[in-house]
Structure 1
Amino acid sequence: MNDIMLRISTTLTNLFSEAITKATVLLPEALLAILFLFAGWLVAVLVHHIVLWILGFFAIDKLAAKTPLSTFLKNLGIRKTASEILGLLVFWLIIFFTLVIAADTLHMTQVSYALALIAHFIPQVIAAVLIIIVGMLVAKLLQILTIQALGHVNVAYKKSIGGAVQTVVLIFVFVAALDQIGFELDYVLDAIITLGSVVLLMFGLGLAFGARTVLDNVVACSQVKRQIPPSSNVSIDGTTGTVKEFTLTSVVLDVSGTLTVLPATQFLQQKYTVITP
């Protein structure tokens, strides 16, 4: 009986000694890991506020509001702004890197590896979000410039072409964002480029046919200007009025207080009369 009690006592003593030894080794590492976590949290909070201030200074939310991004986020049920999303991504990036350091300090290799994978994925998400924001702004800008440029030559379907340009740019933007995250979309990108080229070719042909009419009116308007002085009274095709101005492609008549716009080619194709007082 005494031998059994002695063995139990010896075993417990050895276990207690080993526990004390391990605690003596692990305690400093645990305290260091806690210190790293606390310091990382402070840095994450500080950097989060700095990022929000920088994004607010450059009015990222106002820029994002001019793109479909805000509507897209609302449809997904996300109520945070673009700057808040970027700020949170940066915050959690620092937190995950801090957790990796803490796990390495405690020699938790598998946990450290898993956290490192997540931490390395977050910068790709941040880059993808920035690509989407900048890409949507560029798409909107190109849409506006296209509509304005086509508006100067009186192309009737300018809004449709502007919308098509914006859509093509957005497709490339989202493909680039997904590629940044890590999706292999080479085949999809090749198909989109081919399809986009066909669509642009069709729009180009349509624009070329439309531009022919515009160019005819531009040439005709320059000839009509030499024949009809401004403020002249003109009668053409049953319409009588005073020439108010010449646009790039048309003649504007004041018919009893109502402005009537006639294409310049009409004055070359039909008989008109300049009424002298």
Structure 2
Amino acid sequence: MPPVISSWRDAILAALAEALRVVLAGIPVIIGALVILIIGWIIAGIFNGLTIRLLRALRFDQIADKAGLDEFIERTGVKLSPTEVIGLLVKWFVRIIALVAAADALNVPQVSVFLTQILLYLPNVIAAVLILILGALVARFVADVVKGAASSADLAADTANLLSGVTYWAILLVTIMAAIEQLGVARVLSGTVLTGIVGAVALTAALAFGLGCKELAGDIIAGRALQTNISPKDKITVGEHSGTVEKVGATSLVLDTPSGKVILPNTEVARSTVIKS
């Protein structure tokens, strides 16, 4: 055999032998990494089930529904309940731990570092979700209190809903900003952009409140004037309505007529001819 061919053969055989040695040496490492992944996936499934059971025992879905989180999740197209979403986050938290351990076993530091960064970020996501839930609950509660107080003050239903809505979205905006800060996104956005967003929302709310309260202010002013001339139990006629005055409220007059109670806005009464009998 010519020397050139013999040297080529020896080189090829040496390369194949080295490759086989590397493969054989790496098989235990690969098997170990696979075992880590399998165990990690099993533990992740167990933690997912335990988390869902715990949250359901705590009636987490009902709490999230009151906060409006259920509706938000449905709008995103996710077909999972809030409990299942949290369970999924916990499952992937454990899975990523297993992936990091497997990457370390395979001696792939770049993958390990990347997965570790994701692992360290997941608690921020969970914390942001909890902030949103708690903030939405507080916003809903305070908005209901404002609506109840407005109704007790004899404000019109539209006005009460407007005040309640402005209160809800104002608190929810602060909550969203807190959640964004928790995620670290706020540090990326410039202060000017954040100020612009807050200013735009505040301006919109102020305009809506001002336009909505224009009629309310007229009713309140008219009510003050009516209370000096009309008292409960007075028998009056306002336009086509005749009956006994039951109440002169802050924004409306309640008239007990033969056909039932009639509620008239104070501005309408003030503009009409009132006949006292």
TM-score, structure 1 as length reference: 0.72
**What's 1:235 paired with?**
236
CA RMSD of superposed structures (Å): 4.2
**What's 1:59 paired with?**
59
**What's 1:191 paired with?**
196
CA distance 1:219–1:13, change in 2 (3 Å): same
Describe the SS at the equivalent of 2:77: coil
CA distance 1:81–1:6, change in 2 (3 Å): same
Deviations 1:85-120 (A, max 9, x none): 221111011101111011112211122122223323
Residue 218 of structure 1 contacts residue 249 of structure 1 at CA under 8 Å; is this kept in 2?
Answer: no
**What's 2:220 paired with?**
214
**What's 1:182 paired with?**
184
Relative to structure 2, which stretch is displaced further, 99-108 or 232-241?
A: 232-241
Instruction: Give the AA of the match of 2:261.
Output: L
CA distance 1:18–1:157, change in 2 (3 Å): closer
* CA deviation after TM superposition for structure 1 residue 56, in Å: 1.3
**What's 1:158 paired with?**
160
CA distance 1:57–1:216, change in 2 (3 Å): farther
Residue 40 of structure 1 contacts residue 94 of structure 1 at CA under 8 Å; is this kept in 2?
Answer: yes
CA distance in 1, matches of 2:208, 2:125: 35
Describe the SS at the equivalent of 1:78: coil
TM-score, structure 2 as length reference: 0.72
CA distance 1:18–1:262, change in 2 (3 Å): closer
**What's 2:170 paired with?**
168
Describe the SS at the equivalent of 1:157: helix
Alignment length (residue pairs): 267
Relative to structure 2, which stretch is displaced further, 246-255 or 103-112?
A: 246-255
**What's 1:114 paired with?**
114
**What's 1:99 paired with?**
99
Residue 64 of structure 2 contacts residue 70 of structure 2 at CA under 8 Å; is this kept in 1?
Answer: yes
Residue 243 of structure 2 contacts residue 257 of structure 2 at CA under 8 Å; is this kept in 1?
Answer: yes
Q: Which runs of 5+ in 2 are unaligned?
A: none
Describe the SS at the equivalent of 1:107: coil
CA distance in 1, matches of 2:265, 2:89: 57
Deviations 1:245-266 (A, max 9, x none): 6767665432214213457896
Residue 233 of structure 1 contacts residue 240 of structure 1 at CA under 8 Å; is this kept in 2?
Answer: no
Between the aligned residues of both structures, percent identity stands at 27
Deviations 1:169-196 (A, max 9, x none): 3334334434433322333321233334
